Amino acid sequence: MTPARPGPLLWGLLVFLGIIWGASFPAAAIALKGFGPVTVAALRITLAALVLVTLAFVLGHGLPERHSPTGRRIWLHCLGMAIFTNALPFSLLNWGQLHVTSGFAGITMAMVPLAILPMAHFLVPGEAMHARKIAGFGVGFAGTVILIGPAALLSSGADLELLARLACFAAAMCYAIGSIVTRRAPQVSQISFAAAALLLAALIMLPTAMMIEGFPGRPTAIPLLALGYLGLVPTALAALILVHIIKQAGPSFLSLVNYQVPVWAALMGVAFLGEALPLRIIGALALILAGLAISQARGWPLRS
């Protein structure tokens, strides 16, 4: 099925997703003060899985059936989403944020749309890579780099910085792969699909966290609250929105959310932390909006 042209509802969901994901980076930093990075990933995924699996059954959807060839294929795609959209990138980013700046992590997340372009071209009908889309994504990426600032790319000299940077890049590639896997899944209830994917991710991450970091100690209230936010909003709720957007408009459109996240993170820093509003945000925001407009414009002559 060829992705539909995004309407106001899908654009609104994309902006909302950018807001809640923008808040997930500071929330993860707070949660990491009380838990190890793999434990944070495991607990946020498990909380989200409990919520969505319960909701799926309460609403009468349940989990996807497993006994037909199509059902088994659906579960295989759920496993792909579990690994590449949840388990791996959450763990890699949590560990990477211990050794790199949040600005660098933000820049690597802005690379997700560029990584999706060639994958979607070959694997998703209606997602051909052409000059207009490449130009739009490139302009948006430039705006993100300007917003965060080139200083984020400079080395801090930390011992594990290079490995942590590679972990952030790997997380970006995981998100790109997970979007393609989700888009190519057979038709099924979206809440069932999201619930099954998070359930599989929890089954992967809980024993992994126990083996690597052991049973968590007793954290203080603030890391627990941050963990609760991570599980309920940018994981459980975001999974439903993510699946809906990918199914309706395709992975390339969803990937545009990665240009918004640093913008919302900067604005939240001003609103809640009293940080100064960087002057470059105006020019950066103009570039990001221009990139969004170019990539989604119809009928432009910039086609290869």
pLDDT in tens, 69-86: 999 999 999 999 999 999
d(CA 44, CA 39): 8
- pLDDT of residue 303 exceeding 60, the answer is no
The mean pLDDT value of the chain amounts to 86
List C-alpha distances in Å: 135 to 30, 37, 132, 261: 37, 36, 5, 20
Give the model's pLDDT for residue 300: 43
Give φ, ψ of 101 to 5 degrees. -75, 155
Average pLDDT value for residue range 32-40: 93
**Predicted structure pTM score:** 0.85
Whether 112 contacts 175, CB under 8 Å: yes
- pLDDT of residue 285 exceeding 50, the answer is yes
pLDDT band of 294, cuts 50, 70, 90: confident
Task: Copy the structure tokens of residue 40.
Answer: 């944070």
d(CA 26, CA 34): 14
Average pLDDT value for residue range 32-42: 93
Between these two residues, 90 and 3, which has the higher pLDDT value? 90
Give the model's pLDDT for residue 156: 65
pLDDT band of 117, cuts 50, 70, 90: confident
Task: Copy the structure tokens of residue 4.
Answer: 């539909």
